[in-house]
Amino acid sequence: MVAVGLPALLAAGVAAAGLFFGAGVKDDPVADTTAPDRSGPLALVPVPAAAAGSDECAALLSGLPMKLVSNGVTLPRRELANPAPAGAVAWGDAEHDPVVLRCGLDRPAELKPDSQLRSISDVQWIEVSEGGSTTWFVVDRPVYVALTVPSDSGTGPLQDVSTTVRDSLAARQVDAVGPS
């Protein structure tokens, strides 16, 4: 039950962080039509990530780029609000919704024998769309990794992270059946 809602929880956490840090009470009704302020540390909701402290996640996180290109815009790393969940990294700026990576998650419930996987830079991903964002799960490495991107992010974050995953984590066969 918990795993089924993980993509929704990840997306809700990113959206809630945007609302929490970007939506304040404004006296001017015209000001409400402007983009929310996305500055300051990004709060992420905790999600089950038993392997977040693993050597594999440490290797991946240390190899991730300091900047990602998202739909032609270079996004710097975002500071995470304390307490920051282990295995999490984010990129974003004051004008764009964040791109969030989490390492060491539980196996995604959406991964089935007939799931359509996408191979990007020799890394197998499954796509789970929720509302205004998409969460991509790496499913062929010793740890599961989720990359949550806004719907307008383009392919840059996925390509850059795929390269780092390929170079940091050994490939393994996809477990499309799960524990029995």
- Report yes or no: 32 and 51 within 8 Å, Cβ to Cβ: no
- Where residue 168 falls among pLDDT bands split at 50, 70, 90? very high
Q: Is the pTM of this model over 0.85?
A: no
Beta-carbon-side half-sphere exposure of residue 95 (alpha carbons within 13 Å): 5
Residue-level pLDDT at 121: 97
Establish if 180 belongs to a structural domain.
no
Residue 33 DSSP one-character state? G
Say how many domains are in the chain.
1
Banded model confidence at residue 41, pLDDT cuts 50, 70, 90: very high
Q: Is the pLDDT of residue 25 over 70?
A: no
How many residues in the chain?
A: 180
Determine the structural domain holding residue 31 and report its residue range: 6-168
Question: What is the arithmetic mean of pLDDT over 21-45?
Answer: 54
Residue 178 lies in a domain: no
Instruction: Cis check for the bond before 83: say yes or no (omega within 30 of 0).
Output: yes
Flag whether 176 is in a domain. no
Q: Is position 53 within any domain?
A: yes
Question: Does residue 45 form part of some domain?
Answer: yes
Per the listing, tokens 């307008």 go with 152
Q: Is residue 141 in a domain?
A: yes
Average pLDDT of the residues of the chain: 84
- Examine residue 90 and state whether it is found in any structural domain, yes or no: yes
Q: CA 161 to CA 8: how far, in whole Å?
A: 21
Mean pLDDT of the region 103-110: 97
d(CA 152, CA 117): 21
Quote the pLDDT of residue 130.
82
Instruction: Give CA separation, 139 vs 35, 119, 127, in Å.
Output: 35, 10, 10
What integer pLDDT is reported at residue 10 of this predicted model? Answer: 52
User: What is the mean predicted confidence (pLDDT) over 53-60?
Assistant: 98
pLDDT recorded at residue 131: 83
Tell me, yes or no, whether 28 lies in a domain: yes
